[in-house]
Each structure stands twice: as structure tokens, then as C-alpha cells.
């Protein structure tokens, strides 16, 4: 495992896709949480593949994490979303559904034909956003680790310095006390000491 500490080797990836700009926002290793932002960005639009595809559709089983072994093959046919919401404390009657148009069924989702261009466009955009977001997260994590490392180093230096100062201080105190004794021993003058 060679590790490269290089604090500036996070960008070599010169993209290579059809007309797209790469917003390399790279905050150099600085203190504190660097708030990267990034913004506009050319939007993707490289869809239009040749053949229909996407057999997407089977992903609804999110479930328990903790019990890694508990009942493995329990393909709960849902729960993936775990909408533990909406079923709060139904203090009211059952007409809540009428009061909450927000929860109305798959109304607007109709145009979700996996074949529609709309769909692909949205998917592609989201994919871009996801990659971007994860990249950001990765960078953030690395920065944090780096920061922790630097802080630890600095901490040691500071500890060292403290030890040094303390020792020096003790020496001086000792010297002073000696003088104090000498002074008291042979002189009438009273001195204050710390």
C-alpha cells in the first residue's frame, strides 16, 4: 500500500466525454470545513442511447441491517422504503387521506414509463447528481481524515512544548526558591514569592 500524501493530487481525471465541462472544484487542504459548492454545470444530455434497456425494477427490499444473519432469505416484498411516516399517531379519523392530498397515489408518476425519454432524461440527470454528490462526500471524508492527522501532529508538538515550558518554569521556580532561602537566610528583607 503505497500511500500518497500528496495534498494535491486529486485531479488528474481529465474527463473525456462529449462536450462537457468539468468543474473541478477542489479546495486545497485548508483548515476547517471547506465549503465547496459548485453549481451550474452543464446538464447532462447525453442520452439517446441506441437500444431500450433498463430492466430496472427490483429494488424494494431494504430491510434490517442489524441482524445480518437473521432470516436471510426473507425477501420481504417491500419495506424498502420503510415509510414509517404517515402512520404516526392517527389521532383523527380515517378521512385523513382527504385532508392530505399530498399523499395521493401515483398520480403524477404516471409518465414514468421506463421507456419515455422523460424518464431517461431524469435518470441521467440524477445519475450525474449522484456522482457529483458522492465525489463531494469522498473529498470531504478525505479532508476530514487529513485534518485529524494534522491536528494530531500539532497536538503532539503542543504537548511537547508544554512539557518544555513546564520544565523551564520549574527550573526557574527552583532557582527563585533557592534565592529566597538565601535571602531569608542572610537578609532581613522579606520577599514575596509565588
List the interface residues with its own copies, window 70-129 (CB under 8 A).
70-75, 77, 120-121, 124-125, 127-129
Nearest partner of 30 among 150, 185, 131, judged by Cα: 150
Residue closer to its own copies by CB (options 67, 101) is: 67
Binding positions for its own copies, 4-23, rule CB under 8 A: 4-6, 9-10, 12-13, 15, 17-18, 20, 22
Residue closer to DNA by CB (options 106, 190) is: 106
Binding positions for its own copies, 149-188, rule CB under 8 A: 149, 151-155, 158-159, 161-162, 165-166, 168-169, 172-173, 175-176, 179, 183, 186-188
In the bound complex, what is the minimum distance in angstroms from residue 76's beta carbon to DNA?
5
CA pair distance 56, 129, nearest whole angstrom: 19
Residue 157, Cα to own-chain centre: how many angstroms? 28
Q: What grid cell was written down for 27?
A: 479546495
Q: What grid cell was written down for 112?
A: 414514468
Q: What residues contact 74, with CB distance under 8 A and at least 6 apart? A: 63
> What DSSP state is assigned to residue 150?
H
CA pair distance 83, 74, nearest whole angstrom: 19
Identify which range of 51-59, 84-92, 95-103, 105-113 contacts its own copies by CB under 8 A: 51-59
Contact of residue 100 among DNA, its own copies, none (CB under 5-8 Å per partner type): none
Residue closer to DNA by CB (options 73, 192) is: 73
CA pair distance 26, 34, nearest whole angstrom: 10
Amino acid at each position: 500500500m503505497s500511500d500518497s500524501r500528496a495534498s494535491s493530487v486529486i485531479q488528474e481525471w481529465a474527463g473525456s466525454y462529449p462536450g462537457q465541462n468539468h468543474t473541478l472544484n477542489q479546495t486545497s487542504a485548508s483548515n476547517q470545513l471547506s465549503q465547496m459548492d459548485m453549481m451550474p454545470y452543464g446538464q447532462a444530455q447525453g442520452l439517446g442511447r441506441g437500444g431500450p434497456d433498463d430492466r430496472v425494477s427490483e429494488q424494494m427490499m431494504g430491510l434490517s441491517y442489524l441482524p445480518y444473519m437473521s432470516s436471510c432469505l426473507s425477501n420481504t416484498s417491500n419495506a424498502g422504503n420503510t415509510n414509517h411516516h404517515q402512520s404516526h399517531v392517527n389521532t383523527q379519523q380515517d378521512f385523513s387521506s382527504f385532508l392530505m392530498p399530498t399523499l395521493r397515489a401515483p398520480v403524477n408518476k404516471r409518465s414514468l414509463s421506463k421507456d419515455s425519454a422523460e424518464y431517461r432524461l431524469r435518470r441521467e440527470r440524477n445519475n450525474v447528481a449522484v456522482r457529483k454528490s458522492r465525489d463531494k462526500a469522498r473529498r470531504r471524508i478525505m479532508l476530514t481524515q487529513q485534518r485529524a492527522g494534522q491536528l494530531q501532529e500539532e497536538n503532539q508538538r503542543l504537548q511537547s512544548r508544554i512539557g518544555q515550558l513546564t520544565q523551564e518554569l520549574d527550573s526557574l521556580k527552583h532557582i527563585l526558591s533557592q534565592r529566597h532561602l538565601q535571602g531569608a537566610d542572610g537578609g532581613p528583607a522579606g520577599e514575596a514569592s509565588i
